[in-house]
Amino acid sequence: MPMLDPPAERLNMSSKLIIFDTTLRDGEQSPGASMTRDEKLRIARQLERLRVDVIEAGFAAASNGDFEAVKAIAAAIKESTVCSLARANDRDIARAGEALQGAASARIHTFIATSELHMEKKLRMTREQVLEQARLSVRFARSLCGDVEFSPEDGYRSDPDFLCRVLEAVIAEGATTVNIPDTVGYAVPELYGEFIRMLRERVPNADKAVWSVHCHNDLGMAVANSLAGVKIGGARQVECTINGLGERAGNCSLEEVVMAVRTRRDYYGLTLGIDTTQILAASRMVSQTTGFVVQPNKAVVGANAFAHASGIHQDGVLKARDTYEIMRAEDVGWAANKIVLGKLSGRNAFKQRLQELGVQMESEAEINAAFARFKDLADRKAEIFDEDIIALVSDESVTAAVEHYRLLALTQHSAMGERPHAAVAFSAGAVEHHAESDGNGPVDASLKAIESRVQSGAEMMLYSVNAITSGSTESQGEVTVRLQHGGRVVNGVGADPDIVVASAKAYLAALNKLHSNTDRVAAQG
């Protein structure tokens, strides 16, 4: 792991805004958004293509699965710094350092809560104990890695005098980035911006570290707060996630913050390293992998973000684009949404498209299996889009260890005025099950048939169907099922031109996640 100090221009008021993506860590903490190692690796590769400066790959000490995911990402990513979160204790920090061993550029991100509420009620520690633990943790992290970030959790609600003491101490110990989280999304833009400015003015060694903002979206102001932290406060790193994924109302959305800074360069006066044409691909990949659907009117990446439906607008855009458009759709990757393959496409074309989409398959056998599924899909669907391929390999990426349940066959009968009936065959490990059931509709009948055998007892919290490619009923249906059982919440995603089949796949995918017992420590709380 490189032990060099970070480049000098990152330590002061550079005009570069560092984009720190935490989709794979804070984003993944959202109930139901947990991802497998391979899914995380695929998203990390897309984040690298997007040219984010730092990828927070996970929280290595949370579980063996998290450790392996951070390790795999550290080994694969060459262009972005790879970071692991660690609580402020030696075990977590050592584990993060170990997972990051293979990284071309590594960062350890350690944190401890500093608000009275968190110190007293959660940590049961005094101010002096927290200060000492923060200091020792950063010292230890710096002995392992030249690039160390420190976060005072619930920083925005902390006593400013105490916070200044903590930040001065950790910078003196060598923290190269200090990040001020609004952990609970309580801030408002002007106050948050002023808070960052006040801290930077009062901490004597403030210029020795990069200042970073980390905002949650509980009041819908995460992007506005982050931008105020940059503009008013002088922060030069923004922590954000693709699609604003994250616990509760989510984190600051990467695509919105990036496009705001780029589109309003006249106001922010900052440069970015991001390749914005990769934004849409990243958004779709995260949405398809987690099952967290993007709302149509979401800024930048929503299906309607560049759709001009009103006649007046259409007329204006046709005459001169900038009458109603402040960004070009192609600059965020919308033009890339094209038909790529069809029934007659061969294995080489398929393999090449996988590479272009950043999907890396470990073996020829895996490519062959994915190609067989592609052919099967192409027989049923004339035009195959990039999104179809991503959905197809998302199914494929479920590792043998996780894929306990697999759909083998499904038939269903429904007619107006009759009660629908479904017969489902699926495997559970080496055992093949056949089950039948009635239901309110064919989807209900199919899932009831599966449940009659599995008897998971899981409660369904969400069922949603989405067209993978918009605009026609020829699209594949993408179904998300969210199940809750024994205190765990999981999402399963399934895609197929037949939405009943997609639903059964999604249900089994969710059961697979419940079946793979991934116990992990929570980063916060």
511 binds ligand KIV per the rule CB under 6 A: no
Choosing from 21, 26, 153, 388, the residue that interacts with Zn ion (CB under 5 A) is: 26
Q: Which of 37, 42, 33 is nearest to 510 (CA)?
A: 33
Choosing from 153, 387, 388, 403, the residue that interacts with ligand KIV (CB under 6 A) is: 153
Choosing from 30, 34, 81, 151, the residue that interacts with ligand KIV (CB under 6 A) is: 151
Site string for ligand KIV, 204-223 (x = CB under 6 A): ----------x-x-------
Q: 183 vs 491, which CB is nearer to ligand KIV?
A: 183
Are 121 and 82 a contacting pair, CB within 8 Å?
Answer: no
Q: Which residues of 420-459 are buried (b: 16+ CB within 10 A; e: fewer)?
A: bbbbbebebeeeebebebebeebbbbbbbbbbebbebebe
Residues 68-127 that bind ligand KIV (CB under 6 A): 111
DSSP letters along 451-466, please?
A: HHHH---PEEEEEEEE
Q: Coil, strand or helix: which one is 67?
A: helix
Tell me the closest approach of the beta carbon of residue 154 to ligand KIV, in angstroms: 6
Burial of 268 (0-12, 13-18, 19+ CB in 10 A): middle
Q: Which of 284, 260, 379 is nearest to 336 (CA)?
A: 284
Q: 199 vs 454, which CB is nearer to ligand KIV?
A: 199
Region binding Zn ion by CB under 5 A among candidate stretches 9-17, 25-33, 98-106, 489-497: 25-33
Site string for ligand KIV, 10-49 (x = CB under 6 A): ----------------x-----------------------
40 binds, among Zn ion, ligand KIV, none (CB under 5 to 8 A by kind): none
Q: 99 vs 305, which CB is nearer to ligand KIV?
A: 99
Classify the C-alpha dihedral 359-361-366-372 as positive or negative: positive
Q: Where are the beta strands (DSSP E) in 252-378?
A: 339-341
151 binds, among Zn ion, ligand KIV, none (CB under 5 to 8 A by kind): ligand KIV
137 binds, among Zn ion, ligand KIV, none (CB under 5 to 8 A by kind): none
153 binds, among ligand KIV, Zn ion, none (CB under 5 to 8 A by kind): ligand KIV
- Distance of alpha carbon 482 from alpha carbon 31, whole angstroms: 9
Q: 248 vs 413, which CB is nearer to ligand KIV?
A: 248
Tell me the closest approach of the beta carbon of residue 151 to ligand KIV, in angstroms: 4
Q: 174 vs 246, which CB is nearer to ligand KIV?
A: 246
183 binds ligand KIV per the rule CB under 6 A: yes
Which residue in this structure is represented by tokens 């951070």?
70
Residues 75-114 that bind Zn ion (CB under 5 A): none
Are 43 and 262 a contacting pair, CB within 8 Å?
Answer: no
Tell me the closest approach of the beta carbon of residue 70 to Zn ion, in angstroms: 17
Q: Which of 53, 39, 55 is nearest to 100 (CA)?
A: 55
48 binds Zn ion per the rule CB under 5 A: no
59 binds, among ligand KIV, Zn ion, none (CB under 5 to 8 A by kind): none
Q: Which residues of 218-246 are buried (b: 16+ CB within 10 A; e: fewer)?
A: bbebbbbbbbbbbbbbbbbbbbbbbbbbb
Burial of 297 (0-12, 13-18, 19+ CB in 10 A): exposed
Adjacent-strand bridge partners of 431: 428
Residue 40: which H helix or E strand, with range?
helix 37-50
- Distance of alpha carbon 89 from alpha carbon 482, whole angstroms: 34
Tell me the closest approach of the beta carbon of residue 88 to Zn ion, in angstroms: 15
Tell me the closest approach of the beta carbon of residue 26 to Zn ion, in angstroms: 4
Tell me the closest approach of the beta carbon of residue 417 to Zn ion, in angstroms: 52
Determine the size of the site formed for Zn ion (CB under 5 A). Answer: 1
Residue 128: count other Cβ atoms within 10 Å of its Cβ.
10
Tell me the closest approach of the beta carbon of residue 513 to Zn ion, in angstroms: 23
Q: 62 vs 285, which CB is nearer to ligand KIV?
A: 62
- Distance of alpha carbon 360 from alpha carbon 272, whole angstroms: 27
Q: 23 vs 469, which CB is nearer to ligand KIV?
A: 23
Q: Which residues bind ligand KIV (CB under 6 A)?
A: 26, 111, 151, 153, 181, 183, 214, 216, 523-524
Q: Which residues bind Zn ion (CB under 5 A)?
A: 26
